[in-house]
Chain A
Amino acid sequence: MSGSGAVLRRFLGALGTVFSRYWTVLALLLAWELWVRARHLNAIVVPAPYSVVSDVFDNPSAYAGPLGHTLLNSVVGLALGMVLGLWCAMAVWFSRMLSGLLTPLLLVMRSVPVVVMIPVVARVVGFGTPAVTTITTLVSFFPTFVMVLSGLRAAPTAMTDVFAVLGASRPMVLRRLLLPHAVPELLVALRLTAPSAVLAAMLAEYLLGRSGLGTLFADAVVFVAPQRAWGAALIATVVSVACFVAARGVERRYAGRFR
């Protein structure tokens, strides 16, 4: 009896925390619901939050498949982008020539918005999954490259001196000093890119893809199913926020060990 009471109390406590932190979001949803009901707006204009949520819960199978695709696309793109960013940062650190070659190019490319890149990518790699993966990769690449490179270049002189007098080769310095030192930056890059990778994957699916939440959204718009379209957006938002929270958790847990 007391055990279940404690569980209930803890549950209520957690609920209280959520409520006190995110009450603005809840208030917004409530206002939205009331507004739609009061004005008797058509669902095509704007569906009420409750109807969107109930569409998601009533048709989980309609969402599960596309969600799986989007998640796969994001994870693959995120992993590829981060690995590529890490490699490029190491290459630029290693070679002055590569640095001169790559840095301006990459910085110019970084300032080009994703949306502008999409048609170019479509031309180069075509439509479907390759295009989606390419765009997600590009989106995750730049923050990783920039953050990791700055981490590699910011090792304290006291430590680089230690490696210098130990007679360390450059690869050894990279492996034993600079890469561990840049782990916090890598984790910051993860926190920055994980949510946007999901959204970039969805955007690419919407424009170029053949599966995933973006495609689900596009199809729902075509077939005038506003609850479905908004449901896809809702799920993408939730997943994106979850990615952010997870990445931030990883960062908080591990970044402190490296400084």
Chain B
Amino acid sequence: MGKSAPASIPPTDPDTGGGPAGSTEEGTAPDPDADPRTESADAGSPRAALELSGVTKHFPLRRRNTVALDGVDLTVEQGEFVSLLGPSGCGKSTVLRLLAGLEEPTTGRVRVHDRPPAALVNDHRLGIAFQQHALLPWASIADNVALPFRVAGRPVDRARVTELLRLTGLEEFAEARPRQLSGGMRQRAAIARALALNPEVLLLDEPFGSLDAVTRRRLNFELARIWSEQRITTLLVTHDVEEAVLLANRVVVLTGRPGRVRHVEHIDLPRPRGGRLTREPRFHEVVDRLTALLDGDLASRAGADEGATAQTGRRWLRRRGR
């Protein structure tokens, strides 16, 4: 399962002078051995890279007012990997959109590196892969991956593009159009695009959603490797509990609509986390506990409808069984 081509990506970002992209603006590269978990997790800590404090988000629709998020406090520290779990429609994508500056919070504060989210975006230092891939249909896959260079007005680093295509297994499709690719291949292309400029912050919205289990694990391990090399501050939204645990320093579980932080789980499992770990009991212990949390949430929402609860429970079990 862990068999994958560990092609290393040369960090080629002109801004950081070839240093790892995870380095902070003060030029202090994070110590790869330091466990970010041991640092203060308080809101407003100086190391907090992403910070939501007291964020509510309402979507006023014609009659109803949808409350997507209700008093969410969430911090992701510099160089940390956080997974975000929660039932469908609980506002996970909304959290990402707030952090990307695409939405304004109704109340509360959203900060990225202690600045408004727009600041990082304007520096072209944010990488994001949306739930929908959103590739340009008229451009080849290679050109889609190269888009961040062009938008930032930088010369396209062909070697970097080729490297990313190899990493995501799309080398042969460099010249294909998005419509000639499968859904999972398009998702991979979107991830490659998100990584193109060696971002400081990576936001991933169910990036492996339409991949088969094997490819999914392979890309999980690739992502883990990229993260441990570059320590990109990453927030990953996923429905796959194993994936969340496998990759993250912390897993944040949201409640169903409206979204609130229900539970934060520190993952103490040693790295690198290979395929062997996924078969160990301590891994399953964590996965089971988080699944139960999600399950309980679904059960409480389903209320009297026993049939629906049993069905959703089975669905989670099946997911876990992979």
Interface residues of A, Cβ cutoff 8 Å to B: 156, 158-159, 161-168, 172, 176-177, 180, 183, 257-259
**Contact between chains at B130 and A161 (CB < 8 Å):** yes
**Structural contact, B138 and A166, CB atoms closer than 8 A:** no
CA distance A257 to B126 in the complex (A): 29
Stretch among B32-40, B117-125, B309-317 lining the A interface: B117-125
B132, CB-defined interface residue at 8 Å: yes
Query: Which of B148-156, B163-171, B261-269 interfaces with chain A?
Result: B148-156
B101 within 8 Å of A (CB atoms) = yes
- State whether A257 and B138 are in contact (beta carbons under 8 Å apart), knowing that A165-B102, A165-B126 are contacts in the complex: yes
Q: Is B284 an interface residue (CB 8 A)?
A: no
Supplied contacts A161-B102, A177-B136, 6 more A-B pairs, CB within 8 Å: A159-B136, A162-B128, A162-B130, A162-B147, A164-B102, A180-B136
Q: Distance (Å) between the CB of A255 and the closest chain B CB?
A: 11
Determine whether the beta carbon of A162 is less than 8 Å from that of B177. no
A159 and B193 alpha carbons, distance in the complex (Å): 13
Chain A to chain B contacts (Cβ below 8 Å), 12 pairs: A158-B130, A158-B134, A161-B102, A161-B134, A162-B128, A162-B147, A164-B121, A166-B124, A166-B148, A166-B152, A172-B151, A176-B136
Contact present for A165 and B136 (CB under 8 Å): no
Nearest to B203 among chain A residues (CB) is A165
Chain A residues lying within 8 Å of B148, measured Cβ to Cβ, are 166
Residues of A within 8 A of B177 (CB): 257
Q: Which residues of A contact B235 (CB under 8 A)?
A: none
Which A residues are CB-close (under 8 A) to B97?
A: 161
| Chain A residues within an 8 Å CB radius of B136 | 159, 176-177, 180
Min distance, Cβ A175 to any Cβ of chain B, angstroms? 9
Also in contact, A258 and B147, with CB within 8 A (given A165-B101, A167-B152): no
- B102–A258 touching, CB < 8 Å: no
Q: How far is the CA of A177 from the CA of B148 in the complex (A)?
A: 13
Distance in angstroms from B198 CB to nearest chain A CB is 14
Bound form: Cα–Cα A177–B137 in Å: 10
Indicate if the CB atoms of B138 and A165 lie closer than 8 Å: no
Q: Is the CB of B151 within 8 A of A176?
A: yes
With a cutoff of 8 Å between Cβ atoms, the chain A residues found around residue B132 in the complex are 158
Contacts of B102 in A (CB 8 A): 161, 164-165
For the complex formed, measure the closest distance between the CB of A125 and the CB atoms of chain B, giving whole angstroms: 39
Report whether B128 and A165 are in contact in the complex, using a CB–CB cutoff of 8 Å.
yes
Q: Given that A161-B130, A166-B151, A176-B147 are contacting pairs, would A257 and B121 also be in contact in the complex, using a CB cutoff of 8 Å?
A: no
- Is B290 close to A, CB under 8 A? no
Bound form: Cα–Cα A239–B122 in Å? 52
**Is the C-beta of B84 less than 8 angstroms from some C-beta in chain A?**
no
CA distance A169 to B124 in the complex (A): 11
Compute how far the CA of A158 lies from the CA of B102 in the bound complex, rounded to whole angstroms. Answer: 11
* B138: contacting residue among A163, A164, A172, A180, CB under 8 A: A180
| A244 CB, nearest partner CB in chain B, Å | 25
Contact between chains at B121 and A167 (CB < 8 Å): yes
In the bound assembly, the distance between CA atoms of A167 and B200 in angstroms comes to 14
Q: A258: nearest residue on chain B (CB-CB)?
A: B138
User: By the criterion CB–CB under 8 Å, are B100 and A165 in contact?
Assistant: yes
A167 and B124: CB pair below 8 A? yes
Q: Are B122 and A167 in contact (CB under 8 A)?
A: yes
Q: With CB as the reference atom, state the residue of chain A lying closest to B150.
A: A176
Give the docked Cα–Cα distance between A256 and B128 (Å). 28
Chain B residue with Cβ nearest A177: B136
Interface pair B137/A258, CB less than 8 Å apart: yes
Chain A residues contacting B122 (CB-CB under 8 Å) are: 167
Question: What B residues does A166 contact at CB under 8 A?
Answer: 121, 124, 147-148, 151-152
- Min Cβ gap B140→A in Å is 11
Residues on B with beta carbons closer than 8 Å to the beta carbon of A165: 100-102, 121, 126, 128
